Structure 1
Amino acid sequence: MPKILLTTGFVADPPVVAKGRVDYFDTEIPGFMLEVRSSGRCTYYLRYRDRHGRLRQVRIGPVDAISLENARMTAREIRSQTALGYDPAAMMEKKRQEMTFGDFVEDKYIPHVKLYKRSWEQDERMIDRVLLPLWEYAKLSAITRDDVRDFQTSYVDKGYKPGSVNRMMALVKYIFSLAEKWEYIDKSPARGVSKLADNEHKERFLTHEETDRLLKALKNCQSTVVPDLIEFLILTGARKSEASHAKWEDMDFEHGLWTVPMSKSGKPRHIPLSGSAISVLKRREDNNSPFIFANPKTGEPLKHFHNTWDRIRKEAGLEDVRVHDLRHNFASLLINHGRSLYEVQKLLGHADISTTQRYAHLSQDTLKEATEIVSRSIKSDGDSE
């Protein structure tokens, strides 16, 4: 049980634990400690003795959900309660058991995702519209796997497409996984509930001829912003939200590098820019907004441009192409030109390479070329005999 003055630097990067856990006790507040597990999970606790002299421990929270400053403040409050004869561990356990789903998403989940998730407002809308009418007053610990399966089935019965249901389920799984991680429940009820097979989903990428038609339609578009934004997406493979929120200060023209301050993973990522992508940016230099692809009327990031995009894709004869398909197309082009999945993973900003593999669609021409290699090799071997 090492003793150390806990600092933000130490909490952010504690020593690696090879096996089990190590408790680091703070020298400033008696009993306040940081538990570091071999899994990398770090959690604040306060250890104390109750009025009967028994050693007790109360969980304050994980380091990714509560700051060191707030954890210290909570530790002091708990010590004050013990001095008055209360048993905070018993009180916290009772509160944990009585916490409702609505209380958890309002008090814990939403404040957490606000810190790093750019699309947290979408989560909040889906929670308000879909999840709270069902589970707002249900105790978090009382929701079962059958309840989650019933939720999934109910939206299938309502006629929702598998892709839409899977997106709802992704949010449900994430909420319950955090509740488990933060020890508000023992086990997520969403575990073991499989995604629906989405046979309607078609991976889409553009042929060279389709790309030429799209670029021509972009040139014919009267909008002063959307064509540049679409071309930039084609050339970078970036997410729509990343490009629409891009600022001039994020661009390093000298080194051809774009820094996305907060990506989908909650961390900054760096995107190399091609000469063509930089040319698109140069065309935007006359706008008077810190945002590169700003709404001309408000100067704020361009958010809604579906109608303009719909006109562009129809003119190009590409009615089935979505804006997100441009990201898939970017990845497919790289794969078909021999770039590795690792390179594509880094360029797309995927944390897990299994996500990148969804984009690794090889065109029929590339596959045909691969079979010809075998054919030529066999003929060559036969000729040598």
Structure 2
Amino acid sequence: MAANARRTKGAGGAFKDKNGTWHFRREIDPDPATGKRRYIEATGKVKSEARARFDEKVSEYERTGMIRSTTSPYVRDYANRWMEDHRKDVKPNTWGNENSWMRAMCEHIGGIRLAALRADDIQRMIRGLQRGRSQSTINCYLSVLSAMLDDAEYEGLIDITPMRHVKRRKNRKRTRAVLSSDDPKRLLAAVYEYQSATDTVEERDMWRLMFELAFSTGMRPGERYALMPFQLERRHGVPGINVCQQIQRYTGGEQAVIPAWLTATHLYGCRWLTTPKSERGNRFIPISEDLWRRLWEHVACWGIGDRQLMFANAYGRPLMGETERKRWRRCLEAAGLPSVDVYSARHWLSTVIGESGASDDERMLIMGHADIETTARYTHWSPQALARTMSAVPDLGA
């Protein structure tokens, strides 16, 4: 090679230090744990020896994509970098929750070197988190930690994830209070009994429709808030609602970080119009002719455009969850009903259609669930329904 010839870009460099040792060095991708610059380097007393060692290291790196670091990062440093990378894979609210969980875990294990993290350290962390947190919440924390450590293992930063030796306790099922079959009618009647100082007849009609949709369709709150006239469809003569969007509150408002794969349009403040919770959330829910007629009467009364919100405040802005929850609680009190949350309406519908004899597929389609296990958690069989089922068993004592 000519004296003034230059090595090709990326091939690395070779030099001899003052002690006569040859060095071969090449810069590679930044350290996945810290983001710092990294090099593949080999040394030798003889140039050919150093070059052979260097070529061997380069070959291993190109084959596996990994190179061992001499020092392991702290868990908190790797967690910060991992969470930033993870941000593009999940919805903003999911990332916000998981980031707060990761910070809570790093208060216990953040000062440990990643490669030195053991199952015992995680168990001690769990005992610390149990003060004031439920088991289901801790299991959510551990799911995020497990995903991070799986990536650290894949990147070659640890030999094996310590989560494989951590036992997770089962969640304790919480008994949810659900209204009985006739209670929704009492709640809907109470909409007119409870009146705020500024209520109009049209506004009370709107809230009655909102609550009726919660029971009659099982739509999630965000799906009801996002309802627009174009979603009222007839399919093969059957009136129904095409559930294809929802309103979500994303932290950061207009400046919220929206992943490239998520379709979301900013509406107002922290409210965004986006896709349903999951792919199965896109569904068609049949409704009665009477409800269909009253929904269109509501559209005509308020002069709502095809792509405008059917349920909004006096300024045309999206309804807020706290506004609905406040009115819901006061209507329950007016009707003399037990205190249940708005989401219990979905449980009520799941129970009603389950007791009607609907198949598992039908129940999943209406509820927008991906598996029957989830739908089962929403179904609360009444003693009367179980008695009807058990009536098929003959009286063996007769």
TM-score, structure 1 as length reference: 0.62
Between the two structures, name the one with larger relative contact order (CA 8 Å, sep ≥ 6): 2
The aligned counterpart of 2:7 is none
Q: 2:388 aligns with which of 336, 358, 369?
A: 369
Distance change in 2, residues 1:88/1:371 (3 Å): closer
Measure the CA separation in 1 of the matches of 2:212 and 2:278.
24
AA aligned to 1:177 is: A
Matched, 1:240 2:240: no
Please state if 1:278 is matched with 2:253.
no
* 2:354 maps to 1:335: yes
1:197 aligns with 2:181: no
Cross-structure match for 1:157? 131
Shift of the 365–231 alpha-carbon distance from structure 1 to 2, 3 Å rule, reads: same
SS for the counterpart of 1:157 is: coil
Shift in Å, 1:336: 0.7
Residues 1:111 and 1:254: Cα distance change in structure 2 (over 3 Å) = same
Q: How many Å separate the matches in 1 of 2:108 and 2:123?
A: 13
Match of 1:349 in 2: 368
1:45-60 to 2 correspondences below 5 Å: 52=55, 55-56=59-60
Partner Cα separation in structure 2 for residue 247 and residue 299 of structure 1: 13
Q: Contact 2:74 / 2:110 at 8 angstroms: preserved in 1?
A: no
d(CA) in 2 for partners of 1:310, 1:343: 31
- Aligned twin of 2:191: 218
* Structure 2 CA distance for partners of 1:178 and 1:157, relative to 1, 3 Å: closer
Q: Structure 1 stretch 320-329 or stretch 222-231: which is displaced more?
A: 222-231
Report the CA distance shift for 1:103/1:344 in structure 2 as closer, same or farther (over 3 A): same
- Deviation track 1:157-211 (CA, whole Å, cap 9, x = no partner) reads 33x4x3xx4135324414533652683564372853123424xx22333223322
1:274–1:187 Cα change, 3 Å: farther
The answer as to whether partners of 1:238 and 1:348 remain within 8 angstroms in 2 is: yes
* Offset of residue 122 of structure 1: 4.4
List per-residue Cα deviations over 1:302-337 (Å, max 9, x = no partner): 332222221112222233311111111111101111
Give the corresponding residue for 1:254. Answer: 234
Higher gyration radius (CA): 2
**CA deviation after TM superposition for structure 1 residue 364, in Å:** 0.6
Q: What SS is found at the alignment partner of 1:90?
A: coil
Structure 1 residues 280 and 147, CA gap change in structure 2 (3 angstroms): farther
Report the CA distance between 1:301 and its aligned residue. Answer: 4.4
- Determine the C-alpha separation between the residues in 2 that align with 1:243 and 1:366: 29
Q: CA RMSD in A?
A: 3.8
1:166 aligned partner: 136
Corresponding residue number in structure 2 for 1:38: none
What residue is the counterpart of 2:180 in the other structure? 207
Gaps of 5+ in 1: 1-49, 60-86
Alignment-derived partner of residue 341 in structure 2 = 322
The residue type paired with residue 342 of structure 2 is: V
On the 8 A contact 2:216/2:287 being kept in 1, the answer is yes
Deviation at 1:120, TM superposition (A): 4.4
1:30-70 CA distances to partner (integer Å, 9 max, x unpaired)? xxxxxxxxxxxxxxxxxxxx9506534569xxxxxxxxxxx
Letter aligned with residue 161 of structure 2: K
Match of 1:265 among 250, 255, 278: 278
Identity of aligned residues (%): 18
Q: Give distance in 2, aligned partners of 1:343 and 1:246.
A: 22
Q: Match of 2:182, SS?
A: helix
Matching residue's letter, 2:131: D
- CA distance 1:140–1:266, change in 2 (3 Å): farther
1:290 has 2:304 as partner = no
State the one-letter code of the partner of 1:294: A
The residue identity in structure 1 corresponding to 2:189 is K
C-alpha distance after superposition, 1:77-102 (max 9, x if no partner): xxxxxxxxxx97327x6799666353
- Rate the CA distance shift 1:301–1:363 in 2: closer, same or farther, 3 A: same
Tell me what 1:41 maps to: none
SS for the counterpart of 2:242 is strand
Contact 1:205/1:328 (8 A) holds in 2: yes
Aligned residues: 293
Residues 205 and 332 in structure 1, CA contact (< 8 A), matched pair in contact too: no
2:86 to 88, 99, 109: 109
CA contact (8 A) 2:187 2:331 kept: yes
Q: Which amino acid aligns with 2:186?
A: R
Shifted more, 272-281 versus 348-357: the winner is 272-281
Q: Deviations over 1:253-296 (max 9, x none)?
A: 23324132433236651132312553464354224673333233
Could you tell me which amino acid in structure 2 is paired with residue 241 of structure 1? G
